[in-house]
């Protein structure tokens, strides 16, 4: 199973990707988590990414592509994966398609978009910033992140819809209900493989 999770910050992509990846025993590739790890370790990529993250801007495509390529070339990626936070725009979606060809991997099965009202996202992000001590999640940065998402990532929904590879989930439901909806999508995909 190869899935792409789309949605704004705070939509629950990471939580659900982790739950589903564990259930399916496949790789969970979270570009956000991988970037946070690199920033914490102060790698060259991490330091560069920090400059963009501090102001709520998207990390340069080249940096994100390097991280995704490293993950997709791991042997366990052949068993399947969930991409969480990537691609972020149509250009990255095209680059992903090329990368899958280069690495001789099967294409993705489906892109899942998590739909959550913006006021709910803002509240979730504020709570997460406090809970996880994310000092980069100031109100201004949160607004910039949501604007960046809508400007850059929203066209992806149309991109995957045009290819009939899109499922939309109400991310405002309970965690358990969202997990259940995702498992239904996976079962349906398995039947069609």
* Residues labelled catalytic: 13, 88, 128, 134, 145
Select from 109, 123, 27, 125 the least CA-distant residue to 68: 27
Give 168: exposed, middle or buried? Use CB within 10 Å, 0-12, 13-18, 19+.
Answer: middle
Peptide bond into 87 cis (omega under 30): yes
β-strand partners of 111? 4, 166
Pair of tokens at residue 90? 């149509």
Strand, helix or coil for residue 33: helix
Strand ranges for the chain from DSSP E:
2-6, 27-30, 81-84, 110-115, 166-170
H or E element that contains 119: helix 118-132
Give 90: exposed, middle or buried? Use CB within 10 Å, 0-12, 13-18, 19+.
Answer: middle
| DSSP structural state of residue 55 | T
């Amino acid at each position: 199973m190869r899935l792409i999770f789309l949605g704004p910050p705070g939509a629950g992509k990471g939580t659900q990707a982790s739950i589903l990846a564990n259930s399916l025993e496949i790789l969970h590739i979270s570009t956000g988590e991988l970037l946070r790890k690199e920033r914490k370790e102060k790698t060259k990529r991490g330091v560069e990414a920090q400059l963009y993250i501090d102001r709520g801007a998207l990390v340069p495509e080249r940096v994100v592509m390097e991280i995704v390529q490293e993950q997709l070339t791991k042997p366990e990626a052949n068993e399947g994966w969930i991409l969480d936070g990537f691609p972020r725009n149509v250009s990255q979606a095209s680059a992903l398609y090329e990368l899958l060809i280069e690495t001789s991997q099967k294409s993705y099965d489906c892109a899942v978009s998590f739909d959550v009202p913006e006021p709910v996202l803002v509240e979730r992000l504020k709570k997460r910033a406090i809970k996880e001590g994310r000092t980069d999640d100031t109100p201004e940065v949160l607004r910039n992140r949501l604007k960046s998402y809508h400007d850059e990532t929203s066209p992806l929904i149309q991109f995957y819809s045009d290819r009939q590879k899109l499922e939309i989930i109400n991310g405002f439901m309970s965690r358990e209900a969202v997990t259940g909806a995702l498992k239904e999508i996976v079962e349906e995909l398995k039947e069609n493989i």
